[in-house]
A and B are shown apart, each in its own frame.
Chain A
Amino acid sequence: MGTKEKPRGFTRVRFMLALWAAKLSVPVLKLTRHNGTNFPGELAMKICPDFLRYVARPGKIITVTGTDGKTSVVNLLCDMLDNAGQKVLSNRLGSNVNSGVATSLITGCTVFNRARFPLAVLEVDERSSGKIYPWVMPDLTVITNLFRDSIMRNGHPEYIAGVLTDNMPPETKLLLNGDDLICAGVAPSNDRSYFGLERMATDGTACLNRINDLRICPHCAGKLRYEFVRYHHIGRAMCLDCGFRSPDCDYSGGDVDTAAMTMTVRDAGGEGTYRLLSDSVFNIYNELTAIAVFRELGYDHPAILKLMDGLKIAESRYRADRAGQVEVVMHLAKDRNALACSRVFDYVASCPGEKELILMMNNLNDDKNWSENTCWLYDCDFEFLNTPSVTHIIVTGPRAKDYRLRLLMAGVPAERIDCVREELMSVDKLRLVPDSHIYILYGTDTMNLKLAAQVREAAIRKAEEAVK
């Protein structure tokens, strides 16, 4: 991608002032232990609203966006680039909105606005793309997938696809999920490659989820026939009326074997058999995406295999502890996000053994400021929890009564449900059947995180006391 426009006259003075003030704020924030915030970027954009337009760009910029998997893919890419000895700028510790991206670029340039890094890998919030892409002008943009997310911010995936299309620079190459036809349709005039996973043993031919955001052809509105459906609208489809179909994938993951933990990635340049970093389909997609990015960067399969040595997918969203005769598992289930919770419910339900669940994904921040919009409960597949291995569900927090009703609607028998308003009191209801698993499903807002940690400690205490 070409060099950036240079500020002139008063704009140059204002831009340099913004850059220096922002740079100066970095050590101050470190001294006051406030590093990792967006403040430098916010300050720079306050002084110079066009800051992103003029700040120096690294030699090559890769951006990663999409509903789910952005952070995991950016982490994988950065770890692999680190293994390759590449100096890379990223916002992995900061935020993915415009001020977060600005903060990273401030770190990545000198006081004379010269780029210090040959390469940047930036996570970009899809809703913020209008404030980022036209100025940052990525060389390669990866879109992991496009699903329903927060109703309030994101509306629906077709809207987000439109936002991305409207703001993507025409010169940016796209690397898209070919199994997601909403994602695959972004910015149709841009050069592009696709990645995807071949049919897996667990795939079906009909969507079993409440959400399927692509039931009709995006071109002629005809009925789509799915060759296979993995979940929601992920799969491969064709239109019975006009012949429109899922694109052929340039990077295709096949022979996925979750017992042997291997996958083979094939493309025009050859193939490589990779160790799976995780057995969840979401993470298999994340790994495939990272491999595809490295192929785009010109690395061959043997070289990529080497870079993946010792790599792990951060399991910060999952923690298991043995306590007394049970296992206590903390699992993030992104609140207000029907799809993320559906995936977690599906995963938990399919885990072996008897399970007790504490559902506490309430958004407490919303509860403090207004009241959580619970529409997402009826987009979410609570039906996965209607299975004999989930023997007991405790719903708790401000929306406990809504959860109870939703579980009943999903067919979960009333005797398996307990409704407790106070989160910490929910632990009293645990039955602690020997050799069972206690799952605490918690949300993302900071108040919820703190409370979930307390509930976990209380559950562990109770489980340990039970065997004394």
Chain B
Amino acid sequence: MTIEILYPELCNLYGDLSNIEYLARSTQAEVISTSLKETPRFPTQDVALVYMGTTTERGQELVRDAFAPHLEALRRRTDAGGVTLVTGNAMEIFGEYIELDGGERLPMLGFLPIHSTRRLLKRYNSLYLGQFGDLKIVGYKSQFGHSWGDVGEGLFTTLRGAGLNPDVKPEGVRIRNFMATYLIGPLTVLNPLFAKELLRLMGVTDPKLLFEEEAMDAYRARLEEYSDPKRHFTY
């Protein structure tokens, strides 16, 4: 099984790459790192998961330009049910545009029916509690903007914290097995049940995780903490 990380030299903020480290070490998957000036492998090779993590604002533009020639390949992959995971502000790269502080619109890839804002003086920080099917999801948000658009049910349904923006419940976007979320950092490590679901989608039968017991222990503790109505959610 192969996992491809797109542009890890740029899309690596907030411990995001631990998502793949955890999945790969749990399954002995081969990890291919594709840099900005290389051609992605997923259009021509059997890749179980394509991953892109959080990046800088300049990184968003560099990645947009580098990935644009491969957008059609991503559409084909998504139509065929291929699994892709995009975390943090990398989701915005796949939207229609980012509205900057001065109102200027920065065109993005247009793959997702969303547009985003970037407010560099107003960083949004919060905890997150949501639902993915029957699974509860815990996580973190730390971002310079939000997104808007008709994303149906999104990737997660928000129970506490902000969805795609603070006024809506759907969080992230899901098109078949293309999954994008604003949640940052070690999402799969914090959510072992979600990690296993992801592995199932990638074709792993009866997945087992590295240090599963300890990961579940930490997950249960966090879930209890975040479910406490007295717990504040924003920084």
Contacts and interface: CB of A to CB of B under 8 A. Distances in A.
Interface of A: 148, 151-153, 155-156, 158-159, 162, 210, 215-216, 221-223, 338, 366, 369-371, 373-379, 401-402, 404-405, 408-409
A424 B79 CA distance: 55
A370 B123 contact: no
A199 to B, nearest CB: 24
Tell me what chain A mostly uses at the interface: helix, strand, loop, or mixed: helix
A159 B127 contact: no
Interface in B148-198: 184-186, 189-190
B142 A152 contact: yes
18 contacts: A152-B235, A156-B13, A159-B56, A159-B57, A216-B36, A221-B62, A223-B35, A371-B225, A373-B140, A375-B186, A377-B186, A378-B186, A379-B15, A402-B218, A404-B214, A408-B214, A409-B18, A409-B189
A378 B21 CA distance: 10
B120 A159 contact: yes
Contacts of B185: 373-375, 378
Nearest to A421: B221
Interface stretch (B91-99, B109-117, B199-207, B226-234): B226-234
A405 B15 contact: no
B132 interface: no
Contacts, number: 101
B142 A378 contact: no
Interface string B110-148: 000000000010010101000000000000101010000
Please name the 6 residue pairs, one residue from A and one from B, whose CB atoms are nearest each other, closest first.
A378-B15, A375-B185, A378-B18, A215-B9, A401-B218, A375-B14
B127 A371 contact: yes
Contacts of A152: 123, 125, 142, 235
B127 A370 contact: yes
Interface string B17-56: 1100110010000000001110000000000000000001
A156 B186 contact: no
Given A374-B190, A405-B214, A409-B21, 6 more contacts: A155-B123, A370-B233, A376-B14, A378-B14, A378-B15, A408-B210
Interface of B: 9-10, 13-15, 17-18, 21-22, 25, 35-37, 56-58, 62, 120, 123, 125, 127, 140, 142, 144, 184-186, 189-190, 210-211, 214-215, 217-218, 221-222, 225-226, 231-235
Given A378-B189, A404-B214, A405-B189, A216 B9 contact: yes
Given A369-B232, A401-B221, A151 B142 contact: yes
A216 B56 CA distance: 13
A221 to B, nearest CB: 6
B140 A375 contact: yes
Contacts of A210: 15
Contacts of B17: 378
B62 to A, nearest CB: 6
Most buried by B among A153, A222, A373, A374: A373
Given A409-B21, A409-B22, A373 B142 contact: yes
A223 B36 CA distance: 9
Contacts of B233: 370
Nearest to B22: A409
A152 B57 CA distance: 16
Nearest to A163: B120
A3 B190 CA distance: 55
A72 to B, nearest CB: 27
A409 B15 contact: no
A408 B213 CA distance: 12
A405 B18 CA distance: 12
B232 A370 contact: yes
Contacts of A408: 210-211, 214
Contact of A376 (B15, B62, B222, B234): B15
Contacts of B35: 223
A221 B36 contact: yes
Nearest to B125: A152
